[in-house]
Structure 1
Amino acid sequence: MQRWKINLFVLMGGNFLVMAGMTMIIPFLSLYLQKDLGLTGEHQIGVWAGLIFAANFITSFLFQPLWGKLSDKYGRKMMLLRSGFGMSIVMVMMGFATAPWHLLVLRMLNGVISGYVPAAVALVSATTPKERMGFAMGTLQSGGTAGAILGPFIGGLLADSFGYRPIFYITGSLLFLASAISWILVREKFDREAAARKPQISVIRGFRDLMVIRQLPVLLTITFLIQFAMLSPMPLMPLYVQNLHGTTENLAFYAGFVSSVTGISNMICSPLLGKLSDRIGAIRILLIALGGAAVMLIPQAFVGTVGQLLVFRFLLGCFMGGMIPTVNSLVRKYTPDGMESRAFGFNSSALSLGNMMGPVIGGALSGFIGIEGLFILSGVLLLATCLWATQALRAQKTAKIG
């Protein structure tokens, strides 16, 4: 097997383990705050759950450009190992939290040292032939997204069986395993001496140099809007499932299943849409995915049973499979050689900003419009993003051809 394919499939598995470990807490976070840490009131729980979930992305937003710069200087594999082993230690520490602010602080620390996924994207993009970039980004994304969505399902099962705190120890173990596998199997040809001879510029200067490439500001904004829209309803999803289910029996399981079913369809569709984007163009796939996801989000506000919610979540995942991979493919396409890690670092910051703002604003708005209103708001936002991206990316493509 070619080296780029070995790296791709190993890092796809690593992305799965990392994201599964990071999202296992989703189905029981609000229940954990309610039952073990003494919070009361749906609005208070929603605000705290949103803050704790988003805390990781606050510091990640600030530090990802720095790790991207160091990755271009010292190598992507080093950033993989730094992030993976560091996060495994922090995650175990979360199992000893006794107050909501403990989880908040540790999630912020986790964001400081995070960066496995963007380092994996940068490494794969640097070693993959450009004509196979769509397939590679789709395959890599399928592992990460499947882990992110199947993680809640696994977490729900384990929470029902073992309780809440052991999940953090299991999560830390998964992160350690992913890092160890990457350490052993991933190979990178990186000339540190040549990288050291290149002029070293600041993070701000690097940002300015990249932003003069007209397509990159558009793509970073699209990444932010996608994550904001997708994650704003997530903190209150367990309570929504509880209202639809009508009982507390196996609640964590159903909450995890509703979140994870999107990952099943995403895992199937990401490589297929990535391969299709290599044939018909990444921009076209991105626009179709944005519009389709918007259409699948809005009906979730009007479902009457958990089964109906599952159907729309599954269809949503089909379209999700074409969003972030095509953005990553386009970022690589428009980024000069040697600056890939910086570009993906800034794109990761945009993603983290969306991950941060979505749950915080969603938790704050939930007291006024409910989770049903958040589904509608998210669908409208993605539809507006689709219309804007159609105009912005195609106009720039036409200008470039002209």
Structure 2
Amino acid sequence: MYILMVSQFLVMGAMTMIIPFLPLYLKEMGVTDPAQAQIWSGVIFGINFLSAFVMAPVWGSLADKVGRKIMVLRSGVGMAIVIFLTGLATSPVQLLLLRLLNGTVSGFIPASISLTATNTPKEKAGYALGMLQSGAVAGSILGPFIGGAMAEIVGFRMIFFLTSVIIGLATLVVLLMVKEEVKPDPSQKRGGFFAEGSFILHQRPLLFLFSVGFLLQFAMLAPMPQMPLFVDQLGAPGGYVAFFAGLVTAVTGLANMLSSPQLGKWGDRFGSERVLFFAMIGAAIFSIPHAWVQSVWQLLILRFLLGLCVGGLLPSLNALIRKNAPVGKESTAYGYSTSAVFLGNMLGPVTGGFLSGIIGIRGLFLLTGAMLLIGAWWLKGSQSRVSSPKRSPVSQKVSSAR
């Protein structure tokens, strides 16, 4: 668990560390027009998550067939190679294709989650998944900071080379030290990718959870692109808009990282359904007052309190997916869950940017709170209507034959 937690930190850091210097990297490649640089930056950064969204179910389904650890290793080796090649890119098109390939080969996070979930006792699953969440969040927080700092010291290209080496070493540690005790049953017959996917998507409990995952990420990320502008409107102390905009994001992630393991423990003790429900209610309660803040300090306090609640969202969701996933198809379920989360990651900021032009960012905070309340109601209603996970038709035939 600890090795995978550190590995998640490295992977998320690698995926986000190019954010601060991507426009400058493009300028080094010859893209000097600021408008074109912004367009290329958005497309290059987003294409990674688009390809990851498409491929996550594929890698999840394959993990249920050949094993979860091998999928972690496949992703680690693939990302190490692609990130190294990214440091050799000489044009925006090459960089775009390499980011597309990076998202295609990734799958590290759903594989790590499914490996941890299937090899952890059910009564400890919430805590273990909370620890993984802490590692991933820490990587997403520190990635841009480390990337920006290293760009000033070693240059843009060297960052990619160093990141490649670090991910390669992390993958080697996983190979040597992580044991997969619960492996796929080779005697279990399986259908093709589309048959497996159709079966998973016909599981009502999982469909509810996938929709909740999408809604969570959509609601939480919708205001993020507008946050620097909001900090500027509030009047950043000393005029340090960029610093306080980054701090606003960092305190949310810090609170998330601190609360995830504890809320995971509470999920193991009191039920992940309850923790997820109350975490969504808490996130809604702390999102709504954002609409009336008058200073950056008030915003920082609310973002920290919001982060404490956010720490219970994805770990509890992942624990519930493990609970409701058909036996032997956990990784497939996590693959589709990851796709739903990535879809929320992509559509949330785009939609939030569009809506902020109509209702303003303060109205966007109210909308976010309302969406979280709707999500909590949706979750509560779904728990009373779901049934136990079904077995696949293939598995049923095998059991009948026996």
Partner letter of residue 129 of structure 1? P
Partner of 1:105: 97
For 2:7, give the aligned amino acid: G
SS, match of residue 198 in structure 1: coil
Counterpart of 2:120 in structure 1 is: 128
1:219 maps to which of 197, 202, 209: 209
Distance 1:287-1:190 versus aligned 2 partners, 3 A rule: closer
Displacement of 1:264 in angstroms is: 1.6
Distance of 2:295 and 2:147 partners within structure 1:
22
Partner of 2:367: 377
For the Cα contact (< 8 Å) 2:53–2:342, is it kept in 1?
Answer: yes
Q: TM-score, normalised by structure 2?
A: 0.84
Cα RMSD (Å): 3.2
Q: Does 1:16 align with 2:6?
A: no
C-alpha deviation, 1:215, in angstroms: 1.0
- Relative to 1, partners in 2 of residues 1:191 and 1:294: Cα closer, same or farther, differing over 3 Å? closer
Which amino acid in structure 2 is aligned with residue 310 of structure 1?
A: L
TM score, norm. by length of structure 1: 0.84
Whether 1:386 aligns to 2:379 is no
Deviates more, 1:209-218 or 1:297-306: 297-306
Aligned to 1:202: 192
- Letter in structure 2 aligned against 1:179: T
User: Which of the two has higher C-alpha Rg?
Assistant: 2
Given that residues 53 and 359 in structure 1 are in contact (C-alpha distance below 8 angstroms), is that contact kept between their aligned partners in structure 2?
Answer: no
Note closer, same or farther for the CA distance 1:163–1:307 as it changes in structure 2 (3 Å cut).
farther
- In the TM superposition, what is the alpha-carbon distance from 1:282 to its structure 2 partner? 0.9
> Conserved in 2, the CA contact under 8 Å of 1:11 and 1:182?
yes
Report the equivalent of 1:58: 50
Deviations, residues 41-75 of structure 1 (Å, cap 9, x unaligned): 6xx87765554333222111211111112111211
What residue identity is the alignment partner of 1:10?
I
User: Relative to structure 1, is the Cα distance of residues 288 and 48 closer, same or farther in structure 2, using a 3 angstrom cutoff?
Assistant: farther
Q: What does the per-residue CA deviation read over 1:328-370, in whole Å, with 9 as the maximum and x for residues that have no partner? A: 1111111122111111111111112112222333344455555
Contact 1:290/1:382, CA 8 A, preserved across alignment: yes
Q: How does 1:3-402 map to 2 (within 5 A)?
A: 8-29=1-22, 37-40=31-34, 49-96=41-88, 101-159=93-151, 166-189=158-181, 194-195=185-186, 197-238=187-228, 240-241=230-231, 244-245=235-236, 251=242, 253-300=243-290, 302-365=292-355, 368=358, 371-396=361-386
CA contact (8 A) 1:33 1:39 kept: no
Change beyond 3 A, Cα 1:30–1:227: farther
Unaligned regions of 5+ residues in structure 1, if any?
Answer: 1-7
Specify the code of the residue in structure 2 equivalent to 1:215. Answer: P
User: 1:90, CA displacement in angstroms?
Assistant: 2.3
More deviation in 209-218 or 20-29? 20-29
Contact 2:231 2:241 in 1 (8 A): no
Contact 1:119 1:341 in 2 (8 A): yes
Per the TM alignment, residue 95 of structure 1 is displaced from its structure 2 partner at its CA by 4.0
Q: Which region of structure 1 is more displaced relative to structure 2, 159-168 or 385-394?
A: 159-168
Q: Distance in 2 between matches of 1:160 and 1:116?
A: 29
Q: Deviations over 1:57-101 (max 9, x none)?
A: 211121111111211121111111111121123234444556655
Letter in 1 for 2:2: F
Q: What is the distance in 1 between the residues matched to 2:364 and 2:25?
A: 23
User: Which amino acid is the alignment partner of residue 277 of structure 1?
Assistant: G
Is the 2:218–2:344 Cα contact (8 Å) retained in structure 1? yes
Task: Answer yes or no: is the 8 Å Cα contact 1:241–1:254 preserved in 2.
Answer: yes
Question: Is this contact kept in 1: 2:226–2:361, CA < 8 A?
Answer: yes
CA distance in 1, matches of 2:204, 2:362: 37
Shift of 1:208: 2.4
Q: Give the 3-state SS of the residue equivalent to 1:342 in structure 2.
A: helix
Residue 386 of structure 2: SS of its match in structure 1? helix
Name the SS of the counterpart of 1:338 in structure 2.
coil
* Structure 1 residue 273 displacement after superposition: 0.6
Which amino acid counterpart does residue 335 of structure 2 have in structure 1? G
Cα deviation, residue 166, structure 1: 4.7
CA distance in structure 1 between the partners assigned to 2:208 and 2:114 by the alignment? 19
Q: Give the Cα separation in 2 of the matches to 1:122 and 1:372.
A: 38
Q: Any gaps of 5 or more consecutive residues in structure 2?
A: 389-402
Is the Cα contact below 8 Å between 1:91 and 1:172 reproduced in 2?
yes
Q: d(CA) in 2 for partners of 1:334 and 1:246?
A: 48
In the aligned structure 2, how far is the partner of 1:255 from the partner of 1:262? 11
Q: How many angstroms does 1:304 deviate by?
A: 4.8
| Shift in CA distance, 357/307, structure 1 to aligned 2, threshold 3 Å | same
Write out per-residue CA displacement over residues 256-275 of structure 1, whole angstroms, 9 at most, x where no aligned residue: 43322222211211111111
Deviates more, 1:27-36 or 1:359-368: 27-36
Match of 2:396 in 1: none
Give the deviation of 1:177 after TM superposition.
3.3
> Hey, what's the Cα distance between the residues in 1 that align with 2:39 and 2:165?
29
Q: Residue 257 of structure 1 aligns to which amino acid in structure 2?
A: L
